[in-house]
């Protein structure tokens, strides 16, 4: 099995897009490329699941499958080293679902179509590269490749204050990339092996002083992309200005690179630093959760509501990581997948509604369920997923995070941890208020704008987009053990290093 195809297919699709003779063919090439990625990710997911039971959960190193290594810069010991474990396999599947539905959601795009889809697939190649890289220098290269296209995608095809939003997003993410690069080079310099290989670095015991210094540098660097308070301000503006499919990828996939990097590099390589700083970042993630919920409560624009909701839900990812226990980390990973699909569903729905009504202000819309019954059903399901209702993925993910919090962090003050968990749980009430208020105001009641009677319900490609995303939410909610068992072998080495005193 060739894991390199997750980079080759998007780049090959980009090339075919650039030489396609018409906009119509560009869209079909994009759809075919994204479909190949979806099919191949499902195949890899199934094959990995079939062999995952053989892995040893007592290991302190990741159990990789389908590895490939190429000595990129031998003098610096930099290699193109890729493979997958349960965590990366789940993230790859999420990315494939979001990009396929994102292409479908952009089917009506008519402005500079070739450039738009080319940039979209360059971004996706970077995302896949991050998820399969186990050389941290190569990881950083792909990370930058995933972030840079966002400036053009928002600045050219966005709406509202698109130039300001694109520049703000780019500047803050570039600053965070600087912190990440400092941390990666410091790990390389401090390691006696002088390597970027993540598996080789797992045998290195960095001194506590170094770990306590570099852990917050790397955590903040990755946390900026994960919308960590107080460095989250780029996210709502970026979401609000981005076109539909870019919002789907932005919130559904790109923001997960932050949590993924924290788990894969920060906590794994610097466990002593994680033990020292966990309470501090748990407090910040609690603020994330509460602030995001209250911010969404005050908004009237649908995209801003969903953007602040994303800040809150990404806080659950950081909270689960900060618990530093098996259940909390599993909850963080499940929340990354759940939030990725859920926000992709929300932003696609908002794009479909905006295309028809030409407004995103909830006060300007009422009674749409009578005119757009199919879209309204999907909107309610998305709202229920955001609330974390049973049978949907949000319930499984948030339950793990909360249980992880109540189990406690052995290196943090128990009283402070209990207060943080209580506040995080209480945020569900605020979430229920803004979600139910917004949906009811838009879809319930009588139609006040007579022009809305001319609107048409979801077209077939829109229904396919929404159905795929909803099925994904129900799959995790109804069959959670299938996904939980997959990621346990990836979380176990991190927990083992955390609890071994010699690391």
Q: Tokens 């980079």 identify what position? A: 7
User: Is 280 or 452 the better-scoring residue by pLDDT?
Assistant: 280
Residue 1 scores a pLDDT above 80: no
- Mean predicted lDDT score pLDDT of the chain: 91
pLDDT tens-digit series, residues 125-183: 999 999 999 999 999 999 999 988 999 999 999 887 888 988 998 899 899 999 999 99
Contact 381, 469 (CB under 8 A): no
| Beta carbons of 342 and 386 less than 8 angstroms apart | yes
Contact 23, 113 (CB under 8 A): yes
Residue identified by tokens 């009430």 is: 429
Q: How confident is the model at residue 445 (pLDDT cuts 50, 70, 90)?
A: confident
Q: Is the pLDDT of residue 61 over 70?
A: yes
Max mean pLDDT range (27-41, 70-84, 355-369)? 27-41
Residue 76: CB partners within 8 Å, gap ≥ 6?
none
pLDDT band per the 50, 70, 90 thresholds, residue 13: very high
**Which residues 6+ apart lie within 8 Å of 101 measured at CB?**
248, 344, 348, 465, 468, 469
Residue range 307-326: average pLDDT? 93
Burial of 71 (0-12, 13-18, 19+ CB in 10 A): exposed
Cα distances from 491 to residues 20, 78, 147, 226, in angstroms, run 43, 25, 26, 19
- Mean pLDDT across the stretch 297-303? 90
Per residue in 199-221, pLDDT tens?
Answer: 999 888 899 999 999 999 999 99
Helix, strand, coil content of the chain in percent (nearest 5): 75, 5, 20
Burial class from Cβ neighbours inside 10 Å (0-12, 13-18, 19+) for residue 19 reads exposed
Contact assessment for residue 10 and residue 121, using Cβ atoms and an 8 Å cutoff:
yes
Q: How is residue 383 written in tokens?
A: 């709202």
Q: What pLDDT does residue 53 have? A: 65
- What's the pLDDT at 132? 95
Check residue 502 and give its pLDDT: 61
Alpha carbon distance 431, 401 (integer Å)? 16
Check: CB of residue 64 under 8 Å from CB of residue 501: no
Q: Is the per-residue pLDDT at 57 higher than 80? A: no
Please report, rounded to a whole number, the percentage of residues in the chain having pLDDT higher than 90. 66
pLDDT at position 350: 93
Q: Check whether 22 has a pLDDT greater than 90.
A: no
User: What b/e readout covers 404-422, taking b as 16+ CB neighbours within 10 angstroms?
Assistant: bbeebbeebeeeebeebbe
**Residue 235 pLDDT:** 86
Confidence check: pLDDT of 3 > 70:
yes
Q: How far apart are CA 483 and CA 490, in angstroms?
A: 12
Task: Summarize the confidence of residues 12-29 as an average pLDDT.
Answer: 93
**Cα–Cα dist 468/341, whole Å:** 10
pLDDT level of residue 56 (50, 70, 90 thresholds): low
pLDDT band at 121 (very low <50, low <70, confident <90, very high): very high
Is residue 43 very low, low, confident or very high in pLDDT (cuts 50, 70, 90)?
A: very high
What does the domain layout of the chain look like in residue ranges? Answer: 5-499
Query: Does 55 have pLDDT greater than 70?
Result: no
Averaged pLDDT for residues 86-101: 95
Question: Residue 412's pLDDT band (boundaries 50, 70, 90)?
Answer: confident
At 223-276, the pLDDT tens digits run: 999 889 888 888 888 888 889 889 999 888 999 999 999 999 999 999 999 999
- Residue 50 CB-density burial (10 A; 0-12 exposed, 13-18 middle, 19+ buried): exposed
Which pLDDT score, from 0 to 100, does residue 50 have? 84
At 425, list the tokens. Answer: 């749980």
pLDDT band at 58 (very low <50, low <70, confident <90, very high): low
With CA atoms as reference, report the closest residue to 246 among 378, 152, 141, 341.
152
């Amino acid at each position: 099995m060739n894991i390199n195809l997750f980079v080759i297919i998007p780049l090959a699709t980009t090339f075919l897009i650039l030489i396609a003779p018409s906009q119509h063919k560009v869209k079909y090439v994009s759809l075919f490329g994204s479909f190949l990625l979806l099919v191949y990710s499902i195949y890899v997911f199934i094959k990995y699941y079939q062999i995952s039971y053989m892995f040893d959960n007592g290991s302190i190193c990741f159990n990789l499958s389908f590895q490939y290594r190429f000595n990129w810069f031998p003098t610096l010991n930099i290699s193109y080293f890729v493979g997958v474990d349960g965590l990366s396999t789940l993230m790859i599947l999420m990315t494939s679902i979001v990009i396929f539905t994102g292409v479908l959601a952009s089917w009506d795009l008519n402005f500079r179509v070739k450039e738009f889809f080319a940039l979209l697939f360059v971004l996706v190649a970077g995302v896949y590269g991050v998820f399969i890289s186990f050389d941290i220098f190569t990881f950083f290269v792909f990370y930058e490749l995933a972030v840079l296209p966002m400036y053009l995608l928002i600045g050219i095809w966005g709406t509202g204050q698109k130039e300001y939003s694109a520049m703000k997003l780019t500047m803050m993410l570039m600053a965070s990339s600087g912190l990440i690069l400092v941390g990666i080079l410091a790990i390389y310099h401090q390691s006696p092996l002088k390597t970027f290989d993540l598996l080789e670095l797992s045998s290195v015991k960095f001194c506590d002083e170094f770990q306590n210094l570099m852990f917050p540098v790397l955590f903040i660097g990755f946390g900026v992309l994960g919308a960590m308070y107080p460095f989250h301000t780029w996210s709502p503006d970026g979401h609000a200005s981005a076109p539909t499919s870019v919002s789907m990828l932005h919130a559904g996939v790109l923001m997960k690179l932050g949590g993924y990097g924290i788990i894969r590099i920060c906590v794994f390589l610097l466990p002593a630093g994680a033990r020292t700083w966990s309470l501090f970042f748990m407090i910040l993630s609690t603020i994330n959760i509460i602030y995001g919920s209250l911010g969404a409560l005050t908004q009237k624009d649908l995209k801003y509501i969903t953007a602040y909701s994303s800040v809150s839900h990404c806080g659950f990812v950081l909270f689960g990581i900060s618990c530093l226990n098996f259940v909390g980390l599993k909850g963080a990973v499940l929340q990354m997948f759940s939030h990725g699909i859920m926000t992709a569903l929300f932003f696609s729905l908002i794009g479909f509604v905006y295309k028809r009504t030409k407004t995103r202000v909830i006060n300007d819309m009422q009674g749409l369920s009578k005119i757009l019954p199919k879209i309204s059903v999907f909107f309610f399901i998305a709202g229920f997923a955001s609330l974390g209702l049973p049978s949907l993925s949000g319930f499984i993910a948030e339950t793990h995070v909360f249980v992880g919090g109540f189990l406690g962090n052995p290196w943090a003050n128990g009283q402070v941890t209990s207060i943080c968990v209580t506040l995080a749980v209480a945020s569900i009430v605020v979430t229920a208020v803004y979600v139910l208020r917004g949906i009811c105001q838009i879809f319930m009641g009588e139609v006040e704008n007579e022009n809305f009677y001319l609107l048409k319900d979801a077209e077939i490609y829109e229904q396919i987009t929404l159905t795929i995303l909803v099925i994904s939410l129900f799959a995790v909610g109804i069959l959670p053990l299938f996904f939980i068992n997959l990621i346990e072998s990836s979380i176990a080495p991190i927990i083992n290093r955390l609890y071994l005193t010699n690391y």
